[in-house]
A and B are shown apart, each in its own frame.
Chain A
């Protein structure tokens, strides 16, 4: 009718592949390069959804900060800046080790891939460990959402009866939601990284096929990037 066809495949069996083709080649792609490029587009689109997911929380935080400027300034003094800074460094290191893992995969260096992936997982675990200490401290001091917040010395915004403003608790409501959601993403990252570490150990990745390492690397960099925004917003900015 409106088309002619050209046969872009080698002669093949019923499923369209099965010769010297890569075992990972999916039949609806013309070649591995197209498959790899498409996978990357898919991952970038998924990362866009993550940006919007967290973006909603960032916007919410900004609106509440507008409503309770003084409370937010005073509340953030209660955060443990050294621990936050430590976590930032840890995540930056993990991003570096992730980059190295991808590079090693590209060079078909199986040992290095496994090593760097394990280092990345280690950094992620340290991050979560530090988070545990931070959260424990908050619970002990009742630095919690408004319903459970206890007034701290230095909380100057109060009503006539002496009750502390709800703005302090609101700060911590957002603190827990944003760092909590981020922490969940770190946890998911650990699971995904463990999975590809196992696959790397089995020798699945090489110059010809390292897509999962690359894609999970992209995910990991985004999780790191989100923390790079979270940390100054909560711990540093006055």
Chain B
């Protein structure tokens, strides 16, 4: 079937191979014991999308609870404060630990990174499969926790509430512990792969920027996640044995937990955003048909973000009771960490300048990212400024800020990547018109939901609140309606993506005119990616008509 894509590079496809990675071997056992990074990536994709669905349902329920201050629907009160507290906790925990942290690295990067490097697999394929099974085990434990009492502590598990409340807290903590190891193994794999399995001719500054971003992410995964591990272990010890280090009644310090927790969780948010930015660095050059502006700056900014992310954790604790010196130092360092993100934004815009831009669905997501991440990043400035943060912290302003960067940033970029690599992964094209329509719905719904929350928070609406004063009611109504629009957008996306799977596998090898190595394989690729070892002869993002040899 002919696709009328304006940007498709007119390249003659190689004859489509009979066997690809999807049908090379058959049967569920071949999938359950696979060490093929592509199959593992697909299984992860199904897993994280399921987690996104569950977390999204919780979100819709949270917003529905807040539609009326009396929590009534058709005259009946349908939800209690206890239930609400579980809903927002589970929304956060599922979205952070089951969806967003693994999302890009474990699904998309798993699939694409070896292809981009010209490798046949990741460095440690069996470790890759182990990582997936750890995710599954963590997910099962988390779901079990939800149905055996659930958790009402908030995803941040602050002590002493988390060590004294009822519910299946210890099981959820252990689930997150297991998920942490899944993340660590992925990180180890990607660092080793990037160092050792690059194609001949591919130096560090010939790497696609997606790799730089994933590599920086992997460094954080390896260094930060163990601290989460020990934090959760300590929390479990406190809850089960009352070991005392967080319990003020027996000499412990509840704020110590917060230091431990945020020492991981701040770098964690960079585990979330760096892969998103990495995807944008692929989408913008490809859909602008122009080389990346400031390649080195973008590469260096990824690594510097990874390193800087470790020294700003106290900005989550300006009113928590840390020392005044710590507060001042963390504020100053937080402003430093704003700079590399800004640099990337300008470089992306510089890439679009005088480009040849086509607005297929992935590019719609990329442009959405630019606008939404800009708002997210700028509102971070408000929160870094100490006097203003005192007023805004623990309010809906923070909720809006982190949804803009995590959802408007990472989730948008993630789905941009899903659409970008969809033909490569599945061998099919989705329907472009529906794709752009869903992107618009999600963009509009997102802003309706969260822009109002900045105002609500500035006006003093605290977060994690079940009841609220009447003056906030109109904002909550608008925000809830926005959530329905988002839901509609994602439902549409699910529908057309699933529909595309019923079509024959006729996607071109390189529908978008990309310049990185994954586009030299068939769509979908064969089991071993490359029959012969590719040797890199041109730097990525080189759209000059006469390719200049390296």
Contacts and interface: CB of A to CB of B under 8 A. Distances in A.
Interface of B: 11, 114, 118-125, 127, 184, 187-189, 191-192, 195-197, 199-200, 222-227, 229-231, 233-234, 237, 241-245, 250-253, 256, 260, 263, 510, 515, 517, 519-520, 528, 530, 532-538, 540, 542, 547
A54 B233 CA distance: 12
A173 interface: yes
A6 B535 contact: yes
A150 to B, nearest CB: 14
A3 B229 CA distance: 43
B123 A46 contact: no
A177 B260 CA distance: 16
A204 to B, nearest CB: 17
Contacts of A46: 184, 188
A1 B540 CA distance: 11
27 contacts: A1-B520, A2-B515, A2-B542, A5-B532, A5-B533, A7-B533, A29-B197, A38-B123, A39-B124, A41-B191, A41-B192, A41-B196, A42-B127, A42-B192, A45-B191, A52-B224, A53-B226, A53-B227, A53-B230, A60-B234, A60-B256, A146-B252, A147-B242, A169-B244, A169-B251, A170-B244, A173-B244
A2 B256 contact: no
A41 B536 contact: no
A89 to B, nearest CB: 28
Given A2-B536, A2-B547, A49-B225, A147 B250 contact: yes
Interface string A39-79: 10110011011101111110010011001100000000000
Contacts of A173: 243-245
A167 to B, nearest CB: 6
Contact of A145 (B119, B184, B243): B243
Q: Which 3 A-B pairs have the closest CB atoms?
A: A166-B251, A28-B120, A146-B250
Given A3-B520, A53-B229, A42 B250 contact: no
A29 to B, nearest CB: 8
A136 interface: no
Contacts of A38: 123-124, 192, 195-197
Interface string A207-232: 00000000000000000000000000
A213 B218 CA distance: 26
Contact of B121 (A28, A37, A174): A28
B223 A48 contact: yes
Contacts of A48: 222-223
Given A3-B536, A41-B195, A145-B243, 16 more contacts: A2-B542, A3-B534, A5-B535, A6-B533, A16-B120, A16-B528, A45-B192, A46-B184, A49-B226, A53-B226, A55-B226, A56-B231, A60-B260, A67-B253, A145-B244, A147-B244
Contacts of A20: none
Contacts of B250: 146-147, 166, 169
A120 to B, nearest CB: 25
Interface string A140-159: 00000111000000000000
Q: Which one of B127, B196, B234 has the greatest number of beta carbons of chain A within 10 Å?
A: B196
Contact of B528 (A7, A27, A52): A27
A169 B187 CA distance: 37
A206 interface: no
Q: Which one of B188, B225, B237 has the greatest number of beta carbons of chain A within 10 Å?
A: B188
Contact of B226 (A9, A56, A67): A56
Contacts of B226: 49-50, 52-53, 55-56
A165 interface: yes
A18 B418 CA distance: 37
Contact of B230 (A34, A57, A63, A165): A57
B537 A3 contact: yes
Contacts of A26: 125
A29 B114 CA distance: 12
A223 B188 CA distance: 19
Interface string A181-205: 1000000000000000000000000
Given A3-B537, A41-B191, A50-B226, A177 B11 contact: no
Interface string A4-22: 1111110000001000000
A102 B230 CA distance: 31
Given A49-B225, A52-B223, A3 B244 contact: no
